[in-house]
Structure 1
Amino acid sequence: MLFGTCLTEYCDHIFNHTLKLAKDNEASLWIYYGLGRLKLNQEQVTEAIKDAEARVADAYVERIKAKGLTDYKINVSDGDVASEMTKLARNAGVDVMIMGTSTHAPISIGEDINVGPLGPVVSETILWAPCPVLVIPPSLIPGLARG
């Protein structure tokens, strides 16, 4: 199972669903964070990746361990996020990818739903993924549900 994150509060809620699925299915868990295309030299890219790996670990590892999960890996890369994430899924033999709809809380008050609520990374990932992609809908996120 591969969870794609952008380290936002929104992704934090998506991660709750991911943890439950990983625990219920006794699945190994990859956490992927993409830096996008960096215009840096190789040394700076390496440093940016190390820093991001630490931020991902700070955001998620304690919660993973609290659920009793031990089979997890963190992957951070530069480059096109959707391409790098689908490449990781293919190379790691991932069975399912789990994502939210975009890098900000979708459907904010007054936001038009026709602005493309999936976001470009999710849209491209769905097209190129080597496995099913589970997109957690905004209606399951506290504070965003309607009705």
Structure 2
Amino acid sequence: MRILVVEDEPLIAMWTHAILQEAGHTVIGLAQSQAEAMALAERGRPELVLMDINLSDGHGVGITLARHIQQHCGVRSLFLSGQCEEARTNRDAALGYLAKPWEAPTLLASIAAVQQIIEGRVPRCLPPGLELFRQEAN
């Protein structure tokens, strides 16, 4: 799966990148800001965006950015955040969220579940910490 990682903490971004690559996913880029994320989303054609809700650009910027990428690029996001209530309040912006901190197997299982949704299938089981907002990609 082609994935864009939007995370302003460099160590978390690099760790996520390594986990995804080792599992066979293609990471089209790591973005720390709105501008970087939009440029990568437009150029790289990801299938999924892993989005932190709070970026260095400001509190809640990831929510607005997820909506913008969905509207302009047709790509859905999965929030990776400790801001669970904020994620739930903005259910329209993403397919769901994975609560931080997460473990590598949980991240990969969450991506597999989201990929099934994007492909029009219903996941049989969800890993702990993953909450889905919708069972369809659109």
| Greater share of residues in strand | 2
The TM tier, using the shorter chain, reads 0.3 to 0.5
TM-score, scaled to structure 2: 0.38
TM-score, scaled to structure 1: 0.36
- The structure with the largest alpha-carbon Rg is 1
